[in-house]
């Protein structure tokens, strides 16, 4: 870890000096800074969850926490869920942990996303390849019990055509439709639930006409967009909580039961392991750590096993 840190620090210094020397001023330096942060966050994510069991546990935690936060089945439909990776989100190099409460001041810069997944020799088409593309959403589902928004959410970021660095898991590129706007819930509201969703784009993907590129923060029918865009599955998901001021209202959320998480994790692990044609090993199943790592989608039977496990654990059976 020390060697990695020293190397990264040296790279950071040399890159920033080169950026400043090459012209472009502060904007050029800032762009280089973000690339360095992206690499650092991806390395951290890759090192933290390299085994199938860790990935399965992270997936289970995400899904069970979404249910506990009352984000499933509305606005997130059960049919959309096909979690294949753990999603790591960082702001200025600091991770925003799943379900954690975050201060508005810490969320001003656009977040960096990394995927941690299990490599496999699946017969199915690989989900995470150099040619795969993804849509990323950052949306506010308001607070639990807020019936004023109907089925809509508030869109804070929408980007299409992201690609993945298969060596690090970092999501990169992307075409912003709505540029990132930091969360700023109404003062006095209970904690708002801000979801980060990564969708696999089909080969035939074409961005809908609305919202138009350059659209700002607004109320949004995400279900309608998903249908128009032909998006089918969320492959990674997370959420954070943000509150401004204090509230007299109590949000009716609950922590997922340990038994539910354990059951869902076991089912996810069985599905991930079952997607391989060979038994995974400690060196070949690392998340994005190997140049030769290949990543599989879940076959239909494996996906059914995951969702069945979630349902049996009382996670998605609402």
Instruction: Give me 141's structure tokens.
Output: 């589902």
Q: Specify whether the CB–CB gap between 195 and 72 falls below 8 A.
A: no
Residue 66 has pLDDT above 80, yes or no: yes
pLDDT tens-digit series, residues 124-167? 236 888 899 999 999 999 999 898 887 899 999 999 999 999 88
| pLDDT number for residue 167 | 86
pLDDT tens-digit series, residues 219-277? 999 999 999 999 999 999 999 999 999 876 665 555 565 655 565 555 555 555 554 33
Range ranked top by mean pLDDT from 58-72, 108-122, 278-292: 58-72
| CATH number for the domain formed by residue range(s) 80-115+129-242 | 3.90.280.10
Q: Specify whether the CB–CB gap between 16 and 25 falls below 8 A.
A: no
Q: pLDDT: is 105 or 314 the higher one?
A: 105
Q: pLDDT: is 10 or 25 the higher one?
A: 25
| pLDDT number for residue 77 | 95
Phi, psi at residue 139, to the nearest 5°? -135, 150
Averaged confidence pLDDT in the chain = 74
Residue 45 has pLDDT above 90, yes or no: no
């Amino acid at each position: 870890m020390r060697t990695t840190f020293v190397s990264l620090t040296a790279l950071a210094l040399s890159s920033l000096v080169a950026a400043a020397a090459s012209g472009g001023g502060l904007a050029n330096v800032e762009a280089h800074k973000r690339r360095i942060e992206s690499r650092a966050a991806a390395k951290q994510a890759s090192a933290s969850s390299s085994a199938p069991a860790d990935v399965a546990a992270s997936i289970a935690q995400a899904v069970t926490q979404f249910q506990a936060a009352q984000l499933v089945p509305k606005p997130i439909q059960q049919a959309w869920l096909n979690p294949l990776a753990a999603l790591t989100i960082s702001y200025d190099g600091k991770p925003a942990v799943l379900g954690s409460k975050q201060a508005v001041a810490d969320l001003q810069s656009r977040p960096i996303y990394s995927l941690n997944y299990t490599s496999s020799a699946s017969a199915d088409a690989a989900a995470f390849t150099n040619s795969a593309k993804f849509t990323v959403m950052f949306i506010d589902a308001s607070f639990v019990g807020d019936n004023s928004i109907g089925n809509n959410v508030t869109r804070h970021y929408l980007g299409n055509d992201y690609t993945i660095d298969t060596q690090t898991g970092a999501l990169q590129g992307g075409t912003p439709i709505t540029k990132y706007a930091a969360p700023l819930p109404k003062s006095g509201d209970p904690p708002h639930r801000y979801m980060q969703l990564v969708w696999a784009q089909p080969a035939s993907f074409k961005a809908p006409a609305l919202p138009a590129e350059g659209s700002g923060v607004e109320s949004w029918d995400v279900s309608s967009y998903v249908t128009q865009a032909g998006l089918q599955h969320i492959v990674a998901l997370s959420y954070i909580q943000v509150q401004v001021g204090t509230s007299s209202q109590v949000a009716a959320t609950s922590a997922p039961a340990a038994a539910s998480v354990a059951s869902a994790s076991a089912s996810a692990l069985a599905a991930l392991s079952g997607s391989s044609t060979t038994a995974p090993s400690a060196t070949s199943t690392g998340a994005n750590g190997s140049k030769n790592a290949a990543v599989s989608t879940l076959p239909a039977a494996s996906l059914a096993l995951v969702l069945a496990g979630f349902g049996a654990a009382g996670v998605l059976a609402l």
